[in-house]
């Protein structure tokens, strides 16, 4: 009830979490239903862990191994159970179908099922999905990727990791890899050995543009990944190339060692970016990504004589201001990796509007933990130093309901430029780049349109 109450009081959370749960078959209680259940629990003391109003057939589509469990037999009809099994309803049922199928039919059978599953998770219809496109193009996040992973594991008994999904393979590539592994060809090992170029690992471009008029480099927030910017290219002009920075240790780079030293990170990133600095460039960064972006732009100015045409920051106090995050001060650098500090890190993420569905999912959280701890050290090891202001306009954004940083802290970015400064208030909380990207990108588009003749 507490979690539901929190979601209900926060519009951004309610929209994202509520819509996702509804698509999985979980329905909202009325206040009368909720209080009746509480009354029964208090007065009759039943052995009961959860009360739900749900469509078990829909839920079975996402978690078929649970739908077929005898523990839940009373919740679903024989007809629905049969239908689930026929469609590859868990316990490796689809694997058996594939093993018995003709070799030339296996990919088509599995790909059809995989495409249907992606459509359900994304809340769309299969016809709107292209099997040759990177799956991350459709706004897939780590929570959704984990649902896909669960479906694969329960239907074909293959552990296809969430991080592998977040690398952005196409559904065709996923199908090939999984079929190869089922048939003993070691397909997933082969694919893991295919190393992306260093540029493509660091800079995610979901839509590469020939001869772009401008490149927009985007840096995510604390422990965030490049996938937060996956849909930006669709909402910005065609000749603008969105280049989302993917730090080691995040999302599909989860098995790589994260950086804990800011200077080392900046030098490496600048070297990787250099081939893309042949056009005018602009930057958008959110929250803690903003001070990394500032240090990066300073480094590019001093070492490569590169000057951005616009520097945009969202949901971030100015870099010269002291951190308000007490948990950073409370944890000694040598103790960042100790178990006792996990609750501090979770508390910080909760204050940054990271959904409870991620924080309370041990599997997802444990996969994120190395990068969370590294980001903690990155913040603790950062020492701001005065330098010459930027010579480009700075555009700052604040969420009207931001509970993390106030307007005064964000307006302080004006001190970092000798050019124009613009301050914008947009609807939403701290995570407006996720929950209200349309309004944000309307302003970004207008700002960058002024650089056509740059």
Q: Which residue has the higher pLDDT, 27 or 161?
A: 161
Model confidence pLDDT, tens digit, residues 354-372: 777 777 777 777 777 777 7
Residue at 30 is within a domain: yes
Per-residue pLDDT, averaged over 440-451, amounts to 91
Exposed, middle or buried by CB within 10 Å (0-12, 13-18, 19+), for 305? exposed
Same domain, 248 and 292: yes
Same domain, 113 and 220: no
Q: Is the pLDDT of residue 4 over 90?
A: no
Residue at 63 is within a domain: no
Measured from the Cβ of residue 287, the count of other Cβ atoms closer than 10 Å reads 22
Do the Cβ atoms of 221 and 315 come closer than 8 Å? yes
Q: What is the DSSP letter of 129?
A: -
Name the domain boundary from 146, 162, 192: 192
Same domain, 347 and 211: yes
Name the domain boundary from 192, 215, 230: 192
pLDDT band at 316 (very low <50, low <70, confident <90, very high): very high
Residues with Cβ < 8 Å from 282, sequence gap 6 or more?
214, 215, 216, 217, 308, 309, 310, 311, 312, 448, 451
3-state secondary structure of 30: coil
Name the domain boundary from 162, 192, 222: 192
Same domain, 104 and 224: no
Model confidence pLDDT, tens digit, residues 244-302: 999 998 888 877 888 989 999 999 999 999 999 999 999 999 998 999 999 999 999 99
Domain that holds residue 30: 2-54
Q: Is the pLDDT of residue 32 over 50?
A: yes
Same domain, 365 and 417: yes
Same domain, 258 and 147: no
Dist CA 251 CA 231 (whole Å): 16
Q: Name residue, tokens 């209080």.
A: 35
Res 367: pLDDT: 72
Q: What is the CATH number of the domain that holds 238?
A: 3.40.50.1820
3-state secondary structure of 306: coil
Same domain, 268 and 386: yes
Q: What is the CATH number of the domain that holds 105?
A: 1.10.1200.10
Dist CA 316 CA 412 (whole Å): 10
Residue at 321 is within a domain: yes
pTM, full prediction: 0.64
Structure-block tokens of residue 424: 């914008």
Res 152: pLDDT: 92
Structure-block tokens of residue 67: 């739908």
pLDDT band at 382 (very low <50, low <70, confident <90, very high): confident
Average pLDDT, the chain: 80
Same domain, 418 and 276: yes
Q: What is the DSSP letter of 360?
A: T
Same domain, 47 and 100: no
Residue at 82 is within a domain: no
Dist CA 347 CA 335 (whole Å): 17
Residue at 115 is within a domain: yes
Same domain, 272 and 372: yes
Residue at 399 is within a domain: yes
Model confidence pLDDT, tens digit, residues 389-410: 999 999 999 999 888 889 999 9
DSSP string, 231-251: THHHHS-TTEEEEEE--TTSG
Res 194: pLDDT: 42
Same domain, 170 and 218: no
Residue at 71 is within a domain: no
Question: What total of structural domains would you count in the chain?
Answer: 3
Residue at 221 is within a domain: yes
Same domain, 310 and 171: no
Q: Which residue has the higher pLDDT, 116 or 76?
A: 116
């Amino acid at each position: 009830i507490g979690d539901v109450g929190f979601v209900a009081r926060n519009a951004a959370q309610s929209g994202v979490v509520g819509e996702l749960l509804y698509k999985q078959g979980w329905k909202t209680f009325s206040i009368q239903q909720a209080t009746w259940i509480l009354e029964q629990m208090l007065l009759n003391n039943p052995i009961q862990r959860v009360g739900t109003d749900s469509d078990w057939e829909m839920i079975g589509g996402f978690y078929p191994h649970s739908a077929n469990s005898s523990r839940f037999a009373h919740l679903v009809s024989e007809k629905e159970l049969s239908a689930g099994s026929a469609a590859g309803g868990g316990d490796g049922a689809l694997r058996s179908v594939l093993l018995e199928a003709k070799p030339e039919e296996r990919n088509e059978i599995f790909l059809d099922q995989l495409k249907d599953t992606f459509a359900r998770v994304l809340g769309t219809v299969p016809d709107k999905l292209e099997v040759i496109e990177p799956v991350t193009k459709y706004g897939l996040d780590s929570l959704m990727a984990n649902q896909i992973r669960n479906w694969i594991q329960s239907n074909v008994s293959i552990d296809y990791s969430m991080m592998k999904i977040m690398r952005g393979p196409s559904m065709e590539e996923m199908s090939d890899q999984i079929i190869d592994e089922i048939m003993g060809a070691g397909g997933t090992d082969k694919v893991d050995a295919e190393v992306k170029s260093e540029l493509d690992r660091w800079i995610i471009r979901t839509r590469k543009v020939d001869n772009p008029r401008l490149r927009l480099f985007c840096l995510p927030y604390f422990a965030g990944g490049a996938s937060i910017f996956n849909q930006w290219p669709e909402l910005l002009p065609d000749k603008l190339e969105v280049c989302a920075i993917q730090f080691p240790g995040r999302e599909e780079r989860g098995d790589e060692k994260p950086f804990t030293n800011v200077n080392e990170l900046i030098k490496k990133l600048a070297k990787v970016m250099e081939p893309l600095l042949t056009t005018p460039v602009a930057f958008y960064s959110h929250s803690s990504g903003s001070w990394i972006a500032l240090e990066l732009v300073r480094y590019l100015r001093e070492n490569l004589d590169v000057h951005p045409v616009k520097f945009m920051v969202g949901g971030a106090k100015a870099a010269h201001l002291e951190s308000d995050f007490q948990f950073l001060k409370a944890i000694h650098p040598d103790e960042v990796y100790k178990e006792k500090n996990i609750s501090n890190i979770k508390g910080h993420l909760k204050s940054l509007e990271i959904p409870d569905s991620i924080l309370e999912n041990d599997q997802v959280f444990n996969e994120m933990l190395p990068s969370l701890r590294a980001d903690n050290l990155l913040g603790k090891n950062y020492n701001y130093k005065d330098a010459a202001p930027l010579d480009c306009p700075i555009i700052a954004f604040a969420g009207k309901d931001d509970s993390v940083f106030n307007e005064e802290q964000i307006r302080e970015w004006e001190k970092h430029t000798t050019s124009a400064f613009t301050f914008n208030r947009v609807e939403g909380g701290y995570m407006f780049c996720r929950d209200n990207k349309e309004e944000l990108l309307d302003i970004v588009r207008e700002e960058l349109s002024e650089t056509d003749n740059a």
